[in-house]
Amino acid sequence: MSQKQMKEAFVSNLNGTSVLEITQGLCFPAFCILCRGLLIIFSQHLCSFSHNWSTWFLMDFVVLIVPLVITLTILSSFILLENLMVTVCVAWLLYQIYQRRTCYAKVPAQKVFANFLKISLESEYNPAITGYRVINSIFTAIAILAVDFPLFPRRFAKTELYGTGAMDYGVGGFIFGAAMVCPEVRRKCIVGSRFNYLRKSLYSVWPLVFLGMGRLVVIKSIGYQEHLTEYGVHWNFFFTIIVVKLVTSLLLTIFPLNKSWVVAVSITVLYQLALDFTPLKGVILYGTDGSGTRVGLLNANREGIISTLGYVTIHMAGVQTGLYVLKVRTHIRDWIKVTCCILLVAVSFFISLHIVQVNIEAVSRRMANLAFCMWVVASSLMLLSCLLLSDIILSFAKFLIKGALVPCSWKLIQLPATNKKHSESLILETEKEDPSLCLITALNRNQLFFFLLSNITTGLINLTVDTLHSGASWTLVVLCTYMFTNCLVIYVLDLQGKTIKLW
């Protein structure tokens, strides 16, 4: 067996892990972001610790990147314990900040919380959306390389037919995250006829066509390992994004934005009925002639082509979520209600998912069936609710310390003060801070370039390192160096104010 065949076999015929374990893993980076914010407040405002750009970068890398690398490798069996540990750290930091608070220092706790509920927040920026997209980018970057090492648990890799693997969620989570900030949600659609809007949408995908074709040519020319049943012979994720973009743009010109959930439910239900009562499932699994043939464009890429229906569903659900979360709200009370609502919907989806898996069909990333769509949406909403909760807690910590500023967090518009004059001076002091030294901001700014850079460096490492026979220590060294290099490049680009875009 050749090295290529060995690597392909290494990531094939896998069954995934439990929904609970993946959900626990999704909560962990959200709590790490909270811990990072509290650490910034504690070190900068209570310990008078000065940060330069390299210190900011190293702190973000150690607090945000390294824990996720470790979680996906040597500590993969202790995800619950990791969540408990970071929760303890958050509780300790929050307690220290509360005890040393510079606002309402001699006021009872009940009065402090009552005043906090009266504050207003900046409404034009939502850190939870940014955090969601960045977490998905970091996880994807780590996983696409780590999966080729034995230290990466096989249960986290993409499943063959049925099951829930962590990497299976990454694919759907990317679609969901992009949908929450799509032009339609941000109300940046062009004014004019529907034809002009569709023409602009068609033009906007040309970079993805270039990237998809480029990846196809490179992969075939160098004989790089492929998981055939993932998308097919020629198809890749870039082509899926193209189709989803074009189809959803058409749907959103026909149906109202606030009815996106109706479109999502309709498509996924009809698609599941087609899988159950027509030969469609057999075509996906065994080809048009039932023998597993790969002859012809459809048979060669049947998984990638047909599964786009499921990803269209996920996108439309993301659009509906984006409309709700990005709605203008200024009071902290409103965001607490939003967090509770999203958490409740997520739990409802998980309960419904269990019913669907027992009575209809298990989760299948290969088919992107009803259960897969429900699982991705439920997991995405759970991650989003954790991030919103973290942002609320972080806002409370900032409320306790005069002049506190954490990059990628809500700005408090109404700061606590004893008089109006003093309040104005606090706001001016806060605005003098430099919030740009932030790895989260950098990754969000050049998300596509980070993804491309990660794919290129992953390919180079696979061509030069014997990943199948690498030990634990060497694996960690390679993964941390790989992530450090990629993140540093993106960070430096952000320091220079550069955004790498092809359109």
Buried-exposed string 64-80: b where 16+ CB fall within 10 A, e elsewhere: bbbbbbbbbbeebeebe
pTM: 0.91
Phi, psi (rounded to 5 degrees) for 157: -75, 170
- Secondary structure (H, E, C), 339-358: HHHHHHHHHHHHHHHHHHHH
CA 218 to chain centroid: 27
pLDDT of residue 502: 56
- Per-residue pLDDT tens listing for the chain (503 residues): 677 778 777 878 788 899 999 999 999 999 999 999 999 888 876 665 556 778 889 999 999 999 999 999 999 999 999 999 999 999 999 999 999 888 888 888 889 999 999 888 887 789 999 999 999 999 999 999 999 999 999 999 999 999 999 999 988 999 999 999 988 888 765 455 666 767 777 777 888 888 889 888 888 887 777 778 888 889 988 899 999 999 999 999 889 999 999 999 999 999 999 999 999 999 999 988 888 888 888 999 999 999 999 999 999 999 999 999 999 888 899 999 999 999 999 999 999 999 999 999 999 999 999 999 999 999 999 999 999 999 999 999 999 988 788 888 898 885 544 444 444 334 333 444 454 578 999 999 999 899 999 999 998 998 899 888 899 999 999 999 999 999 999 999 999 888 887 55
Q: What is the DSSP string of 450-469?
A: HHHHHHHHHHHHHHHS-GGG
Per the DSSP assignment, residues forming a β-bridge with 412 are 121
**For 193-198, which contacts have Cβ atoms below 8 Å and span 24 or more sequence positions?**
194/253, 197/249, 197/253, 198/249, 198/250, 198/253
Tell me the C-alpha distance between 314 and 168, whole Å.
13
pLDDT of residue 483: 97
From residue 398, give the alpha-carbon distance in Å to each of 103, 316, 392, 437. Answer: 10, 35, 10, 18
Tell me the C-alpha distance between 250 and 195, whole Å.
10
Tell me the C-alpha distance between 425 and 501, whole Å.
39
3-state secondary structure of 107: coil
Q: How far apart are the first and last CA of the chain?
A: 43
